[in-house]
Amino acid sequence: MSRRASIFDRLALKERVAINQQMKSLGALSNEFRQIDEMRQKLDEMAREQAPGDGVQNAGSLRAAAQLNYQIRVQLETASNRSYHLAEELRHMRQRIAQSDRRREKSANKAEALRAKARNDSDAKREDDEASRRRNQPR
C-alpha cells in the first residue's frame, strides 16, 4: 500500500511543480497585460487630444495631424487587441492552475486515504493477533 501512496504523493508533487511554473507565467502575463493596458490608456488620451484647433490651418498641417491621428489609432487598435488576447490567456491560465490544484489535492487525498487504510488494516491485524494470543494463553 505504501508504494501506491508514494505514487500519489509524487503525482501531487508533480502537480505542485506545474502550478509553481504556471504561477510564474501568470505573473509575467499579468505584468505584460498591465503594461499594455497602460499604453492603451495613454494612446486613447492622445487620440482624444488630437482634436483640430479652431484657428486657420493649412493643408500641410491638416495632413500631418491626420497622419499622426491615423498612427495613434492603429497603435490603439493593436494595443486593444493585444490587451483582449492577454486577458483571455490570463483567464485560461487561471483555469489551468485551478485544474492542476484540484488534481494535486485529489492525489494528496488519495495518498492519505491509502495510508489511513493501511494503518487501519495494520491496527486491526495487531488487535486480532493480540486477541488470538490472549485466547491461546494458559490460565
Residue 61: alpha-carbon gap to chain centroid: 49
Written as one letter, the residue type at 40 is R
Q: Which three cell numbers stand for residue 103?
A: 488534481
The rounded average pLDDT for each run of 10 residues, N- to C-terminus, in the chain (139 residues) is: 83 94 95 94 86 71 85 92 95 95 94 92 88 74
The counts of H helices and E strands in the chain are 2, 0
**Confidence (pTM):** 0.71
> One-letter amino acid identity for 73?
R
pLDDT for 97-115, tens place per residue?
999 999 999 999 999 999 9
**Residue 18 burial class via C-beta count within 10 angstroms: exposed 0-12, middle 13-18, buried 19 and up:** middle
Q: What is the pLDDT of residue 56?
A: 64
Q: What burial class does residue 25 get, using C-beta atoms within 10 Å of its C-beta: 0-12 exposed, 13-18 middle, 19+ buried?
A: middle
pLDDT in tens, 33-52: 999 999 999 998 888 887 66
**Residue-range domain boundaries for the chain:** 2-121
Q: How far apart are the first and last CA of the chain?
A: 38
The CA-CA-CA angle for residues 43, 48, 50, to 5°, reads 95
